Amino acid sequence: MYDLDLMPEVSGILQDRMLTEERDVLYVLEMYKFKTRDNIIRILEKHYADTVNENYFSDDEKPIVQSVDSICRDRNFSSLEHECGVLLDVASEDTVNVICVYGESYNKAKVELGVPYKFLNTIYVTPYNYALLESGGKPPSYDADLLLKRIILECVNRKGTDLHLTVHHVNKKPVYKVRYRRNGMLCDMDLFEIDRRLNKEIISILISRNTNKDSIDLLLSDGLTALAPDIFRDKSVELRVSANRVRDGYECVARIQRTDNVTMKIEQLGFPASVQDDLRCLARKQSGITLITGPIRTGKNTTAFAIANEMAGRPIKIKSFESPIEALMDFPQVDYADDPAKLREAIKLAKKQDVNVAFLNEIPNKEVAFAVKDLVNSSVHVITTMHINRIWHLPYKLYEFYGESYKDVICQINGVINQKMFGVLCPHCQDIVLASDLPDSRKSALLMRYGVNTVAVARGCSFCLDAETHTHGIVVGSNQPYTERLIFTEDVRSMLMSCKEPYEMENVIKNQVMQNHHELEQALANGIRDGKLSTDALDSVL
């Protein structure tokens, strides 16, 4: 067999498809773009070099492996081509090229007798190249299941966090697209041309073969959500899928979860020393509720599990409730598979299991919120996440969950860490400009208010030019969290409990954060001053 140097996921896909014949393997590798044709030709040339000493080929015939875009075939040779398994390319008045798949032989004498031309040249091509020439350039139909796995793998390799299969309309005509989110931005994946058939089949196969749902559910008005575990059969990737029918096709968004993540420690998160100290303070709490908040995909769970690592080794019992399980930890973990009812019951059961600390990666609804409240009232330290934009929006979120009893939770909060994720400013192409010269006067005013008079602007270079998103200035693939935070002391709790309405609590929290200089504006200003952050990050607070 050829030395193909395949990723484990690719080998698993081939094995899953029971592809063992060399010609079939090479065909699939090229057709589904696991390898380029040039890659495969180099593999075949190396194979020749490794086998020539074993007289695999005769001494007078060194195979020429090349890419052939088009040929001129003569209908009179159709039967001969079929009998000999070759294609005959009439190159000139006296020359015919015999096109053959590398590694396969043909009856040369029979071809010479049947072709009345003076010169015959043998040209070896890849199996997929041969198939294209044989069909007159018409690409074969894709297998939707294999194409699905290829697209998912490409998304993973490009460090995508979410895969989007969707339908757009251009000049009133449907266009079927594959997109993925990376660093918060949606990028086009123009690797394959998707039509209506593939749009439907790929999404249907993802649902019917990889989840416990039926693709018929796609026809429901509210669509479906499902877990697609172990996509590559190696426990490396699972998907959280949501899909529904849209105009002229189907839309599917799959959140990609790598299950081989390694959790970080607090000092590895990239936070300033003062933030690390507050996280360690929260890790020492024995009861109450600790909140990690922020928008989706901002590393909230990463921060939560860094707190868990800080607790490791203590004589306490920890248990987590996750969907999905992002990293295997040294304590019991429950995957509630996006089912809030299962989560609620698992939390209720935890009261009877002598748990000291409970990690919960999200509070999805009121029923779960009240189960969490009951757990906190049982002197369990609950560490969980919420989606809010700024810390001082917390009272409204709690009121949404708990109604008039939201103060019962406020009085048990240990602290809130609110974080957002930003790309790292390229250090290789920075120019220094005056903050007052920035075209956006709002940004100038904010920065100068925080004592930042000069800022770094990246002009673009080979290190930061991103062909996928057509952007520059940010180190490709980089992410750095920035936080605002508030530790709830007895004084803070007392001030909050004296408030009658959520908007009064908002003012109290905002004033406390600002007085401590722990607001996000301060953190961003520091990052911009140090040349680590683009001024575009200020759009999140302006």
**Contact (CB, 8 A) for 125 and 104:** no
- Same domain for 275 and 248, yes or no, is no
262 pLDDT above the threshold of 80: no
- Same domain for 150 and 81, yes or no, is no
Residue 495 confidence class, pLDDT cut points 50, 70, 90: very high
Write down the pLDDT at residue 134: 94
53 pLDDT above the threshold of 60: no
pLDDT by residue (tens digit) across 287-337? 999 999 988 778 888 898 889 888 888 899 999 998 877 777 888 999 887
pLDDT by residue (tens digit) across 459-476? 989 888 887 777 888 887
Does residue 203 form part of some domain?
yes
Does residue 60 form part of some domain?
yes
pLDDT by residue (tens digit) across 189-212? 999 999 999 999 999 999 999 988
- Same domain for 416 and 294, yes or no, is yes
Write down the pLDDT at residue 350: 92
- Same domain for 346 and 488, yes or no, is yes
Write down the pLDDT at residue 477: 72
- Same domain for 34 and 176, yes or no, is no
101 pLDDT above the threshold of 90: yes
How much is the average pLDDT of 446-466? Answer: 92
pLDDT by residue (tens digit) across 325-344? 777 788 899 988 788 999 99
438 pLDDT above the threshold of 60: yes
pLDDT by residue (tens digit) across 383-431? 999 999 999 999 999 999 999 999 999 999 999 999 998 989 999 999 9
Residue 49 confidence class, pLDDT cut points 50, 70, 90: confident
Residue 486: CATH number of its domain: 3.40.50.300
Tokens of 533: 């952050």
- Same domain for 169 and 230, yes or no, is yes
- Same domain for 174 and 296, yes or no, is no
For residue 174, give Cα distances in angstroms to 171, 332, 365, 471. Answer: 8, 48, 36, 27
How much is the average pLDDT of 254-280? Answer: 84
For residue 415, give Cα distances in angstroms to 73, 284, 370. Answer: 76, 12, 19
Alpha-carbon gap, residue 362 to 344, rounded angstroms: 12
Does residue 535 form part of some domain?
no
Average pLDDT, the chain: 90
- Same domain for 64 and 93, yes or no, is yes
Across 33-172, the runs of DSSP E, i.e. the strands, are: 87-90, 95-101, 119-125, 162-170
Alpha-carbon gap, residue 149 to 10, rounded angstroms: 9
Per DSSP, the residues of 196-234 read: HHHHHHHHHHHHHHHSSS-GGGGGSTT-EEEEE--TTSS
pLDDT by residue (tens digit) across 84-99? 999 999 999 999 999 9
- Same domain for 117 and 15, yes or no, is yes
Does residue 359 form part of some domain?
yes
Least confident of 74-78, 124-128, 136-140, 234-238: 234-238
Does residue 435 form part of some domain?
no
Residue 246 confidence class, pLDDT cut points 50, 70, 90: very high
Q: Which of 350, 294, 499, 307 is nearest to 410 (CA)?
A: 499
- Same domain for 246 and 101, yes or no, is no
Residue 259 confidence class, pLDDT cut points 50, 70, 90: low
- Same domain for 245 and 356, yes or no, is no
Write down the pLDDT at residue 34: 96
Least confident of 88-102, 153-167, 300-314, 493-507: 300-314
Domain closes at, from 89, 109, 134: 134
Across 3-129, the runs of DSSP E, i.e. the strands, are: 87-90, 95-101, 119-125
pLDDT by residue (tens digit) across 474-485? 887 778 889 999
Does residue 475 form part of some domain?
no
59 pLDDT above the threshold of 80: no
Write down the pLDDT at residue 399: 95
Write down the pLDDT at residue 39: 93
The total number of structural domains in the chain stands at: 3
Does residue 452 form part of some domain?
no
Write down the pLDDT at residue 261: 52
Residue 176: CATH number of its domain: 3.30.450.90
pTM above 0.85, yes or no: no
Does residue 350 form part of some domain?
yes
Write down the pLDDT at residue 450: 96
Share of the chain above pLDDT 90, in %: 65
Domain residues for 23?
8-134
Write down the pLDDT at residue 204: 95
Write down the pLDDT at residue 164: 97
453 pLDDT above the threshold of 70: yes
Domain closes at, from 111, 134, 157: 134
Alpha helices in 266-384 (DSSP H): 273-283, 300-311, 340-350, 366-377
- Residue 257, SS3? strand
In terms of Cβ atoms closer than 10 Å to its own Cβ (0-12, 13-18, 19+), residue 207 is buried
Write down the pLDDT at residue 220: 83
- Same domain for 376 and 487, yes or no, is yes
Rg of the chain over Cα atoms, rounded to whole angstroms, equals 30
